[in-house]
């Protein structure tokens, strides 16, 4: 090995150029960690975790998933309203810098990296820096919430379309196409909408969506402490009050199919509630 001009050091290809060892540039993989349940990770995501030198992760990634990569150094760049650790630009630069150190960098994000995950910005930063960057998709929260509740996002006869929107805009309330979202027979899934639930319900109702439209709020989807509240558009704001964990607001006729029975599994601590189902417009 020592006589070879190229040698592998700690899994890293080091080229010898004019007697100087030059560390090969590493790469970045944007990995969707799914909604929390480690069983919802893809096999490709698991392989990426197992090959990582460093995990750059946010606050929505569960400890069980981080533990699947015990060999990797962890960097928590969690962004929460009250604990804004690193601005996005700094995260982008961090990914580039780590890859330039020759590391196998996994940027681990809750759900899917390209669904309200700012994965596009991180991919662009890597591309601009000439760093190889690939994306491993993840199960987005809406899919897990819908599957867990048995409430399909599309359903023949009652939900011909599904739209994912954000309830949070950089400078306050979201500016959405309320008229389009208010049409019946479609499901509207609101991410990051807990604090703006009242505003969203008011806008949808003002644009013509019936207050009696079924609505499902799912907190901590796929986790042991998952909580579902079946309500109506009129009851959305009160259903969202006091939620602490990540939650989705799902509005649409097909949400009436949600399973709100307490499961028989005694280990499950989920809470299932029905609120205001009879309230009208």
Give the binding site for ligand SAM (CB under 6 A).
35-36, 60, 109-112, 115-117, 140-141, 145, 191-192, 218, 220-223, 246-248
Judge contact between 146 and 48, C-beta under 8 A.
no
Q: Which residue is nearest to ligand SAM (CB)?
A: 111
CA-closest candidate to residue 99, choices 46, 45, 30: 30
Judge contact between 194 and 236, C-beta under 8 A.
no
Catalytic residue among 44, 47, 76, 79: 79
| Residue 58: active-site member | yes
Shortest separation between residue 240's beta carbon and ligand SAM, angstroms: 11
CA-closest candidate to residue 261, choices 246, 278, 251, 274: 274
Query: 59 or 211, CB closer to ligand SAM?
Result: 59
Query: 71 or 195, CB closer to ligand SAM?
Result: 195
Query: 56 or 221, CB closer to ligand SAM?
Result: 221
**What is the C-alpha to C-alpha distance for residues 281 and 69, in angstroms, rounded to an integer?**
50
Catalytic residue among 58, 89, 175, 265: 58
Residues 6+ apart with CB under 8 A from 255: 149, 151, 187, 214, 215, 216, 230
**What is the C-alpha to C-alpha distance for residues 4 and 1, in angstroms, rounded to an integer?**
5
Query: 112 or 122, CB closer to ligand SAM?
Result: 112
| Residue 79: active-site member | yes
Q: Which residues are marked as active site?
A: 58, 79
């Amino acid at each position: 090995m020592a006589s070879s001009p190229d040698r592998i050091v700690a899994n890293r290809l080091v080229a010898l150029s004019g007697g100087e060892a030059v560390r090969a540039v590493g790469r970045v993989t944007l990995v969707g960690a799914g909604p929390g349940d480690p069983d919802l990770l893809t096999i490709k995501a698991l392989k990426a975790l197992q090959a990582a030198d460093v995990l750059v992760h946010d606050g929505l990634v569960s400890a069980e998933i981080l533990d699947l990569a015990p060999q990797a150094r962890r960097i928590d760049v969690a962004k929460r309203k009250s604990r804004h650790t690193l601005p996005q630009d700094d995260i982008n630069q961090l990914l580039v810098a780590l890859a330039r150190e020759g590391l196998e960098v996994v940027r681990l994000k809750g759900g899917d990296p390209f669904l309200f995950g700012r994965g596009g910005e991180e991919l662009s930063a890597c591309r601009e820096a000439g760093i190889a960057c690939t994306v491993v998709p993840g199960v987005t929260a809406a899919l897990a919430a819908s599957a867990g509740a048995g409430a399909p996002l599309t359903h023949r006869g009652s939900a011909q379309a599904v739209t994912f929107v954000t309830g949070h805009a950089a400078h306050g309330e979201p500016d959405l196409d309320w008229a389009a979202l208010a049409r019946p027979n479609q499901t509207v899934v609101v991410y990051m909408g807990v604090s703006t639930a009242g505003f969203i319900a008011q806008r949808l109702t003002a644009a013509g969506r019936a207050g009696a439209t079924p609505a499902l709020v799912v907190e901590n989807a796929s986790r042991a402490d998952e909580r579902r509240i079946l309500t109506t558009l009129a009851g959305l704001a009160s259903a969202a009050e006091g939620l602490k964990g990540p939650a989705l607001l799902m509005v649409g006729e097909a949400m009436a199919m949600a399973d709100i029975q307490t499961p028989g599994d005694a280990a499950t601590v989920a809470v299932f509630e029905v609120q205001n189902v009879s309230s009208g417009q």
